[in-house]
């Protein structure tokens, strides 16, 4: 962002104010003036202790309006399940051949799904997939016999998320070109999904703070009550 654009963006937003969801969405859309369609990002500060394993929050949510982009999906499967994956729209389907491609550094996908019986093969490339956030996980619905459902969900705009070391969850939940109502629907779906994942050992306020921004825009604080009621 240029200096002039950044200054103008900050002038239009009160970074100390907590906006309603309607106001926040209007503000970030107005501030998205880049020459490309900026991604709408959400950041949620959770009331957790990330150092406690029983308070780690991670999951996946299907956004009603999608994300505005289509993921390339790879599937570890064989036999009938491989056929199901292909028919559901998977971009890459394989077993040992897919493992060898990954070992060779050929990772042409953003989501990886596997049937449970293939996890032995997947484990052999775990050290490559793990750091990239691509390792299939039952909690995320990416280790499953329902490969068709998982592929369709990924293609339809399912977002995976995980709290970072500071207890903050970040995700891209749409595009600045989306209609305001679609952005709001995605925000509500995302935050309500998060709220349902509050660990039993987490005390106090769970959804502490929410902020919205666009790729080159200024962060806008959003009232949690205006999202979840």
Burial class (CB in 10 A: 0-12, 13-18, 19+), 128: middle
The SS3 call for residue 26 is helix
How far out from the chain centre does Cα 164 lie?
A: 13
Q: Which of 146, 140, 93 is nearest to 115 (CA)?
A: 146
8 Å CB contact between 129 and 135: yes
pLDDT tens-digit readout, 87-121: 999 999 999 999 999 999 999 999 999 999 999 99
Q: What is the DSSP letter of 165?
A: T
d(CA 179, CA 221): 20
Cα dihedral 97→119→145→164 (10° resolution): -110
- For the chain, the residue count is 229
Candidate from 3-17, 51-65, 192-206, 215-229 with smallest mean pLDDT: 3-17
8 Å CB contact between 190 and 22: no
pLDDT over threshold 80, residue 11: no
Band the pLDDT of 15: cuts 50, 70, 90: confident
Both tokens of 66, joined, read 């999608």
Q: pTM score, two decimals?
A: 0.83
**pLDDT at residue number 205:** 94
pLDDT tens-digit readout, 137-170: 998 999 999 999 999 999 988 999 999 999 999 9
d(CA 40, CA 54): 30
Q: Domains in the chain, please, with CATH?
A: 14-63+159-223 (3.30.190.20), 73-156 (3.40.50.790)
């Amino acid at each position: 962002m240029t200096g002039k654009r950044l200054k103008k963006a900050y002038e239009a937003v009160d970074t100390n104010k907590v906006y309603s969801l309607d106001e926040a969405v209007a503000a970030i859309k107005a501030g998205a003036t880049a020459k490309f369609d900026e991604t709408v990002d959400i950041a949620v500060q959770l009331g957790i202790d990330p150092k406690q394993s029983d308070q780690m929050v991670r999951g996946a949510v299907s956004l009603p309006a999608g994300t505005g982009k289509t993921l390339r999906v790879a599937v570890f499967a064989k036999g009938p399940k491989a056929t199901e994956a292909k028919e559901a729209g998977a971009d890459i389907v394989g077993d040992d051949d897919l493992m060898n491609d990954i070992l060779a550094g050929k990772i042409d996908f953003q989501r990886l799904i596997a049937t449970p019986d293939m996890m032995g093969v997947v484990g052999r490339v775990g050290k490559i997939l793990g750091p990239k956030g691509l390792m299939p996980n039952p909690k995320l619905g990416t280790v499953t016999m329902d490969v068709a459902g998982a592929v369709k969900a990924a293609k339809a705009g399912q977002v995976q998320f995980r709290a970072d070391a500071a207890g903050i969850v970040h995700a891209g939940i749409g595009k600045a070109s989306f209609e305001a109502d679609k952005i709001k629907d995605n925000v509500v779906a995302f935050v309500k999904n998060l709220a349902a994942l509050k660990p039993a050992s987490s005390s106090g306020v769970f959804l502490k703070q929410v902020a919205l921004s666009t790729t080159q825009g200024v962060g806008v604080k959003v009232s949690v009550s205006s999202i979840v009621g």
